[in-house]
Amino acid sequence: MLFNTHFFIFIFLPLTLIVFHTLSKFKLHHLKFEFLILASLFFYSWWSPKYLFLLLGSIIANYILGKWILKKRNNFKLVIGIFFNLIVIGYYKYTNFFIENINLVFETNYILETIILPLGISFFTFQQITYLVDCNNNKVAKTNLMRYFLYVSFFPQMIAGPIVRHNFLMPQILENQNKDVNYNFLNIGITTFTIGLFKKVVLADTLSKFANPFFYFSETGYILNFFDAWAGALIYTFQLYFDFSGYSDMALGIGLMFGFILPVNFYSPFKAKNISEFWICWHVTLSNLVRNYLYFPLSIYFTRKSVQENYNIYRNFLQSLIIPTIISFFLIGLWHGAGWNFVIFGIINGIYIIIYNLWAAFKKKYKIKDNTNLINNLISQGLTFISIVVALIFFRSTNLDNSYHYLKSIFGLGKFDLIDIFQVGIFAAQPYNGIFLLLISSFIVFLFPNTQESVFSQVKSEVNKDNVIIKRKIFISLKWKPNIAWGLIISSMFLTSVIFLNRKSEFIYFQF
């Protein structure tokens, strides 16, 4: 079930909220979580009921594995648990990718099976892997099947994140078990959801109409003009921004409506002044997972090995920084999709991170201070943004050949004729609308505060300390308040979004 559909907005969500909060009102707290679990399972099965059994099996198996690990913690049990989850996700997500490459390398002709990727498998699988690791690291005190079911299946975060740590959500489940309706959370949740809906259906889906023709034409062999190529890449970049930002806002908003704070998963990444800050703010929970559960352990392991075996400084640097970074971003790329274009997207970002860390180490060694004046900040932000735009060409393209073809145009190896500017698809028919959309998108992304800064910051909770908070200069200050003026603005955004709902479209992260 999609958040951006009439059925979800006008039937499923209101009915679920009414029943959930009615149970709270009548002090039937023991039933409200059971109901929320059933509603979440119905939400998941809406797309394909047969994959509900996969979800149920995954939850029960990982719950049993977690209890087994808690009885006597050891790494062998953890490895078995992780291996089980990787086998499941590997079969559904990477079988065809593996067979394709076997056929290519060995010139064989193995038949590819038709395997449909289950919704949210990357998210609920990796969330449960973090749970097993936390069990082994003594960060889980005890388990309860019902609460564990809710932790994994809670529908706002199950399909496309955020990936929620057990110690982030479980205390809230325990705390909210006997609480009544939080009207402040409900109000902020509706506001946050509406802003996210507007980003998705009005901004992202409109941008996609202009972005898609550029890539489709390039994939058919059409040589894009240098300016056309950049226009298409920039429009797609903003489309992806509003699509993922919109989903993240909607997930946060729905969570608040039920009294739960989910972790921030998107925090104005295009305002980042370096690539490290970008990955702190883009897909925050995935970045945290990879950093805490993969990069740090690898880096510590190789650093210890270097000390024990007395490696020279260059080999130490190679093993403690470069190898863990490339492995981490290789897997980030592969997590996003079973294709070499996704792998290259990850590796490019890993190389960006290595270059940044080399520069940071150089500045530290020679005591070079950062110049934080406006011009330098704009240059840093601009270079980071352009680097991401180039990397996202691999993310958007269907394969490496198409990525290479598009990059030729981006770097001026195709046409470079001013007469041909914006001659692709809908951009050719409506060039001024496309340029106007680019300007509006830039204005919103770079000058406005994000939803967390303007609305979600109103949420006061101890759990909120784990969310991303980066203080930046805000050029246009907007602070949401529960008043008539803001009520009219949010109502207008909601009505506009409803008008645009006739264009049904999936979220870009919908089947990752």
Could you give the residue numbers annotated as active site? 336
CB 135 within 8 A of CB 73: yes
CB 235 within 8 A of CB 214: yes
State how far the Cα of 229 lies from the Cα of 397, in Å rounded to an integer.
Answer: 13
Of residues 281, 202, 298, 284, the one with CA closest to residue 472:
281
Cβ neighbourhood burial of 291 (10 Å; 0-12, 13-18, 19+): middle
| Rg value, the chain, Cα | 24
State how far the Cα of 313 lies from the Cα of 139, in Å rounded to an integer.
Answer: 35
DSSP code string of 15-79:
HHHHHHHHHHHTT-HHHHHHHHHHHHHHHHHTT-THHHHHHHHHHHHHHHHHHHHHHS--HHHHH
Rounded to whole angstroms, what are the CA distances from 130 to 111, 126, 256, 465? 35, 6, 23, 20
Of residues 450, 447, 9, 17, the one with CA closest to residue 194:
9
Rounded to whole angstroms, what are the CA distances from 19 to 28, 48, 154, 326? 11, 24, 16, 48
Instruction: Give residue 24's Cα distance to chain centre.
Output: 32
Instruction: Give residue 193's Cα distance to chain centre.
Output: 17
- Token pair, residue 49, equals 């009921």
Cβ neighbourhood burial of 282 (10 Å; 0-12, 13-18, 19+): buried
H helices within 205-274, ranges in order? 205-219, 226-257
* Beta bridge mates, 225: 415
The contacts of residue 285 (CB under 8 Å, 6+ apart) are 161, 162, 163, 164, 263, 265
Q: Tell me which DSSP letter residue 419 carries.
A: G
H or E element in which residue 145 lies = helix 145-153
Main-chain dihedrals φ then ψ at residue 289, nearest 5 degrees: -60, -50
